[in-house]
Amino acid sequence: MAAQVPLSYFPTSTFHSRHFFQQRTKSIAKSIIVQCHMTTRRATTNATLAALITTLVMEATFIGKPANALDFGLTAPNQTLEQAEGGIRGHARSLLRVKDLLEEGSWKAAQKTLRKSSAELKQDMYTMIQAKPGSERAELRRMYTKLFNNVTKLDYAAESNENVAVVWECYDNIVLALNDIMSRLLY
| Per-block mean pLDDT, blocks of 10 residues, the chain (187 long) | 50 50 63 58 72 63 50 58 86 92 90 91 91 92 95 90 87 95 88
Buried b (16+ CB within 10 A) or exposed e, 157-184: bbeeeebeeebeebbebbeebbebbbee
Domain boundaries 81-186, corresponding CATH code? 1.20.120.290
CA–CA distance, 123 with 85 (Å, rounded to integer): 11
Q: What is the pLDDT of residue 75?
A: 46
Q: What is the pLDDT of residue 122?
A: 92
Q: Could you state, in order of their start, the residue ranges of all structural domains in the chain? A: 7-61, 81-186
Q: What is the pLDDT of residue 12?
A: 47
